[in-house]
Amino acid sequence: MPQQNSLVPLPSDDLVGRDRDVSRLRSFVADGAVDGRALLVTGEPGVGKSALLGVVAAEARRGGLRVLRAAGAEYEAALSFGGLSQLLQPVLGQLGELEEVDQQALRVSLGLIDGVASEERAVALRH
């Protein structure tokens, strides 16, 4: 697992006035490199969420971390597991590494196989 100091800072000059935000996200990612973390960033359209996350995600990748991202869209709000599907798309080939019960729950929830989807809460609580 990468060490906490493995992030390679990238210039954030194009993010005027966001030094504090970038610093906080860098700290979050560094801590996550040790024990894993998840982050939800919300805000009004156009405030720079994607640009901010782009800088920090690039640093994390350069530091050897896996970064999974999903962007919500209002039209997807009614789709069960829509965000999860988007988030896991890059790692679907690794589902076979999970316990069988977890594989089954995810494959059904993501519509990869037929079956009765688990309750959203049950899928979220699997560990």
Is it the case that residue 40 has pLDDT exceeding 70? yes
Identify the pLDDT of residue 4: 42
Each residue of 51-63: pLDDT tens digit? 888 888 888 888 8
**Residue 11, SS3 per DSSP:** coil
Residue 40 tokens read as 């939800």
Cβ distance 4 to 33 under 8 Å? yes
Residue from 107, 106, 110, 112 nearest 127 by CA: 106
In angstroms, rounded to a whole number, what is the distance separating the alpha carbons of residues 99 and 97?
Answer: 7
Spacing of C-alpha 118 from chain mean position: 21
Residue ranges per domain, the chain? 1-67, 78-125
Across all residues in the chain, what is the average pLDDT? Answer: 78
Count each helix (H run) and each strand (E run) in the chain, helices first.
5, 0
Eight-state DSSP code of residue 16 = T
Each residue of 89-117: pLDDT tens digit? 899 999 999 888 888 888 888 888 888 76
Each residue of 68-96: pLDDT tens digit? 888 777 776 777 777 788 888 899 999 99
Identify the pLDDT of residue 6: 46
Instruction: Tell the burial category of 59 from Cβ atoms under 10 Å away from its Cβ (0-12, 13-18, 19+).
Output: buried
**pTM (2 d.p.):** 0.62
Identify the pLDDT of residue 123: 58
- What average pLDDT does range 16-33 have in this prediction? 84
Q: What band does 120 get if pLDDT is binned at 50, 70 and 90?
A: low
